[in-house]
Structure 1
Amino acid sequence: MKFKEMPYKRIQYEEVEKEFDQIVKEFKQAQNGEEQFEVHKKYYKLNDKVETMITIAHIRHDIDTTDEFYDKEQTYYDEIEPKLHNLSVTYSKMLYQSPYRDYLEEKIGKVAFKNIEINMKSFDKKLIPLMQEENALVTQYDKLIASAKIDWDGETLNLSLLKKYLTDKDREVRKKAVKKMSGFFAENAETLDTIYDKLVKNRTKQAQEMGYDNYVELGYYRMNRNCYDKKMVENYRKQVKEYFVPFAEKLHDRRRQRLGLEKLTFADDSVFFQEGNPIPKGTPEEIIENGQKMYRELSIETKEFFDFMAENELFDVIGRKTKRAGGYMTYLPEYHAPFVFANFNGTSGDVDVITHECGHAFQGYLSGKDPIREHADITMETAEIHSMSMEFFTEPWMNLFFGERTEDYIAMHLEDAAAFIPYGCMVDEFQHIVYENPEMTPAERHSAWKKLEKEYKPHLDYEGDEFFEKGGYWQKQLHIYDFPFYYIDYCLAQTCALQYKVKMDEDYKKAWESYLTLCTLSASDFFTNMIKEVGLNSPFEDGCIKEIVDKLEKKLTA
């Protein structure tokens, strides 16, 4: 069914609660594991219905943040989602404590039960008022960012549409775009600081209510970290500082020379060639059509997936002035349908959507065929391997989008992917500092960010821009507001994706088979086990980062 034809009906909490209570009653009355698993399938069905309606409302709200009907629906779900989560936790506890757990564990897997354990550590119904407040604050931030109205020579742009001018080949245009972007954030600086301060204090209070010293431990549980901890992440960041930061700085200097500049400034941060970055040819519709051709040729599995997406119009990628910023893949369980949301803006990022977000969507399409719903509950570092690796696996088809500048795009993509890792680690370390010190003032948070920039991106020069010089860049990173502790997942995944890049250059078919296996494994095993099973090195192990850097340096200097 086409997305626009999918019917929507508001989820009434009282009706869900009534149906839920009946499922609980039947589960308790079941005489053996087989009977309980049959009841569990009813829980799947209820959950699918609830998630599908909420997701439809969420997408339609994001498509037009000024739509009054779906704005009210978003506000409503901000209120009831914590209550729905309480039902989920209640059911999970019952599943976890079942006298027939051995049978159930055999059916849905050990990972599912570990996740239930983590979920129980991350939620209590007494948190509902705080979670409702948190949801409202996140929505307030998202709407503020989406509300940007930037005058550009008489045309009104939002932040997503401004991005193409940040990569313009004319340096003066880029500087003007930076000034416009900085102006928006400076104008809203006090509000941005207030929202984040309230979020930090809210999340800290939630953690304390659960008996934790601060939000870090609760944040890890909320991110469903089921096989690694803070110390392992710290060791990973340590390796990045030691090996990847110097490597990334070499890449930035290589880019500086290519641009013919004496020094790089922030206005040059996203530009790779004097003639400008390669941009995709054709209209958004033509980009989607070429994406379909690409996935039809890549594999039988990807052909089936993309044809399904195209036939059912499961893309909304055109940038519009009232559309939510950013991009994502989400899933509509009743229709076994992934959905890709993005903001095309005429840059190479438009093609990245067709590779990155479709990497997520492809895995979602595969896992949707698995009758065990828990296998779809992938942790984010695994999910991002699917997307970031797909960016590399689709490189043989980049000529469809970039023509004579295909090689420029491929070179730019590899450099950009490698240089991202220090930034991602910086975001992660910043969040650890903030949540371990929740009483920091807004000024102290900005100072902490500024210090980290010197450690992770020493080449960075804001040319005296007041807002960014004071350490304000993090306020444009929506993950810091919306999804605390998410960002390190991108770094861990990029580390694995770069391993796939090396492998596919050696033996593309073998590398693809490994990737397909990883997608199919989904969440049937833990991240640290799965990556070893498909032949990847763990990012947490000493030597992993150094080995990748050594191989990439040889590749880039060949």
Structure 2
Amino acid sequence: MNLLPFSGLPAHAPRRFVPAQIDLGDWSQIAPLFDQLDARAAQCATPAEFERWILDQGELAAALDQEGSQRYIAMTCHTDSPEAEAAYLHFVEQIEPELKPRQFNLAKLFLAHPLRSQLDKRRYEVFDRDTALLVELFREENVPLQTEESKLGQQYQKLSGSLTVNFRGEEKTLVQMGRYLEEPDRALREEAWTLVAQRRLQEADKFEEQFEAMLKVREQIARNAGFPNYLAYAFRAKGRFDYAPEDCVKFHSAVDTEFMPVVRHLQAERKRQLGVASLRPWDTAVDPLNRAPLRPFAEVDEMVTRTQRVFDKLDAELAGGFAQMRDLKLLDLANRKGKAPGGYQSTLAEARLPFIFMNSVGVQRDVETMLHEAGHAFHTLAAKGEDLYAYRGAPIEFCEVASMAMELLGNQHLEEFYAPAEANRARKTHLEGIIGFFPWMATVDAFQHWIYSHPGHTRAERTAAWLALMDRFGGDVDWTGHESARANLWHRQLHIFLHPFYYVEYGIAQLGALQVWANSHRDPVKALRDYKAGLALGGARPLPELFAAAGCRFDFSAETVRPLVALTRSELAKLN
């Protein structure tokens, strides 16, 4: 049975190298293609032949990438399907470990090739740099460890996806419980919040054990690659050529000095509006004036239609891209049991098309997520004409500019979902969410800096480090009686488990997105044109140049942060 929401996607271009009828889940069919590429390297006599060899590698990589993506999509859409789980695990266990040494060998052949120096310097600058990094970091003994890490990640997803509570006689997923935190009835909110917190605490030891297993694997990977700790390894492995751990520490400080005063001001205002003696964890998502929760749509189809109208107003090219995704069924948006938590955009690398996954339950957050993932999708579509497979994706720090800027640009047309007063309320909620995001980002990032630079730490020490960061960046929320939930709050942040150190990118990118938004206040046409120009580059240029193309500065010091905080505050004042 087909476990994918879509079927029969066209390839972007006919295959020239990979056989049309190959089974990409069978290593015995894949290996001969790598053998051919290995043999062909020495036969390349001209730069044109050498480039063809690079493009054929990319064609094989894209076909395998899409195969892996489709199995991941099927597994996350059906976490309760043994068939989907088996197919995904087969690829992770049997195919991916075989790929890494073969790709490493091709990278070595590229670096040693006499024609490498004859390639266009500017065109291949980033490709050359990234290939050299791959060779520098590759260790054969890390391949099984990376497989083990993927399997541990799948166990975390399975545990998270399986959690439900019985709320007033009905079984609910934890995602579905989120909507009750927006209800005006404070007792109802407390009941819902407490039920979810207790359910998570029942699994706290399991989450800790899963994380400790991952930590052990990651520390070994770093040691094998010759790094003093996983922090140093991760910065190198993520290709962070343009910033260092010290820059992130400075960013945490900028969040502390520039954002925290605004956060505390907004929390005090919320407490005053709610008329409560102290702000409790279940008081942070409700409308502070006790208006009923925003309900932007009833059904997913309605969300898609209204989102389409937002893009119709924003830009014809973007609107056409979203319509294509809708028509090809490249959307799985409704929350249901047996679906992995969260939302993502996955690129089907051979078709050069995006797929969007999310868990929509009919709240304003869903509109934000839809715009966010659509921004990623537009990035995929903007770069689809790039023939170098490696350049069809950009560094995450810029990928998230694409998505976060689209939230801010799309927000200008929220009247497609709401009456004007409600649209302003949604915009205000969104901007307050951005302000509130920076301290959480700094907490998650600084926590990982602590974890991975303190090998051999105990569970108690890790908890103490987390609580110190909650004190620094948590603002004025009263957790009395729920100290255990506060100490274990990080268990819900899947990035800490699945994607270590992948979180500060959101903060860096949010600064880029706020700059795109600031530009749109000055000149909306130019701002959108620059945004699309940045997206169209894919990953062909270094990070600072991608930011510059989109009209932004790649910098996260207090000097860059301050005017963006000021603009956000002034817009919030207008919306009040």
1:432 to 415, 428, 449: 449
1:507 aligns with 2:523: yes
1:415 to 432, 435, 460: 432
1:463 aligns with 2:516: no
**Contact 1:83–1:125 (CA<8 Å) still a contact in 2?**
no
What residue in structure 1 maps to residue 231 of structure 2? 216
What residue in structure 1 maps to residue 299 of structure 2? 283
C-alpha distance in 2 between matches for 1:225 and 1:426: 20
Cα displacement (A) at 1:208: 0.5
What residue in structure 1 maps to residue 368 of structure 2? 352
Answer with 411-420 or 494-503: which moved more: 494-503
1:63 aligns with 2:77: yes
What residue in structure 1 maps to residue 161 of structure 2? 146
1:378 aligns with 2:380: no
Letter in 2 for 1:77: F
Cα deviation per residue 1:321-364 (whole Å; 9 max; x = unaligned)? 11001110001122221000000012112111220000001111
Answer with 120-129 or 286-295: which moved more: 120-129
Alignment CA distance shift 1:4-1:461 (3 Å): same
SS in 2 for 1:100: helix
Letter in 2 for 1:484: P
Cα displacement (A) at 1:230: 1.2
1:403 to 419, 443, 455: 419
Alignment CA distance shift 1:444-1:276 (3 Å): farther
Answer with 50-59 or 159-168: which moved more: 159-168
What residue in structure 2 maps to residue 24 of structure 1? 38
C-alpha distance in 2 between matches for 1:447 and 1:137: 25
**Contact 1:375–1:522 (CA<8 Å) still a contact in 2?**
yes
Alignment CA distance shift 1:299-1:447 (3 Å): same
Aligned positions of 1:117-266 closer than 5 A: 117-266=132-281
C-alpha distance in 1 between matches for 2:307 and 2:280: 34
**Contact 1:13–1:84 (CA<8 Å) still a contact in 2?**
no
SS in 1 for 2:475: coil
Cα deviation per residue 1:89-138 (whole Å; 9 max; x = unaligned)? 22122223321123435484311222222223332111112112111111
Answer with 308-317 or 509-518: which moved more: 509-518
Answer with 245-254 or 339-348: which moved more: 245-254
Answer with 300-309 or 478-487: which moved more: 300-309
Q: Name the TM-score, length of structure 2 as normaliser.
A: 0.93
Alignment CA distance shift 1:302-1:410 (3 Å): same
1:323 aligns with 2:339: yes
C-alpha distance in 2 between matches for 1:188 and 1:359: 35
**Contact 1:201–1:438 (CA<8 Å) still a contact in 2?**
no
Percent identity, please: 25
Letter in 2 for 1:295: F
C-alpha distance in 2 between matches for 1:85 and 1:314: 29
**Contact 2:74–2:84 (CA<8 Å) still a contact in 1?**
yes
**Contact 1:249–1:457 (CA<8 Å) still a contact in 2?**
no
**Contact 1:108–1:372 (CA<8 Å) still a contact in 2?**
no
Cα displacement (A) at 1:20: 0.9
1:35 to 49, 70, 78: 49
Cα displacement (A) at 1:6: 3.4
Letter in 1 for 2:463: H
**Contact 2:511–2:556 (CA<8 Å) still a contact in 1?**
no
**Contact 1:163–1:345 (CA<8 Å) still a contact in 2?**
no
SS in 1 for 2:419: helix
SS in 2 for 1:226: coil
Cα displacement (A) at 1:498: 1.6
Cα displacement (A) at 1:251: 2.2
1:4 aligns with 2:6: yes
C-alpha distance in 2 between matches for 1:409 and 1:515: 24
**Contact 2:23–2:29 (CA<8 Å) still a contact in 1?**
no
SS in 1 for 2:355: strand
Letter in 1 for 2:455: P
Answer with 490-499 or 501-510: which moved more: 501-510
C-alpha distance in 1 between matches for 2:274 and 2:542: 44
C-alpha distance in 2 between matches for 1:246 and 1:423: 14
Cα displacement (A) at 1:386: 0.4
1:47 aligns with 2:49: no
Cα displacement (A) at 1:542: 4.6
**Contact 1:356–1:390 (CA<8 Å) still a contact in 2?**
yes
Answer with 192-201 or 460-469: which moved more: 460-469
Letter in 2 for 1:537: R
Segments of structure 2 that go 5 or more residues without pairing to the other structure are 10-21
C-alpha distance in 2 between matches for 1:282 and 1:185: 29
**Contact 1:121–1:221 (CA<8 Å) still a contact in 2?**
no
Q: Name the TM-score, length of structure 1 as normaliser.
A: 0.95
C-alpha distance in 1 between matches for 2:54 and 2:32: 16
Alignment CA distance shift 1:290-1:557 (3 Å): closer
Cα deviation per residue 1:169-189 (whole Å; 9 max; x = unaligned)? 222222112112111211111
Cα displacement (A) at 1:226: 2.6
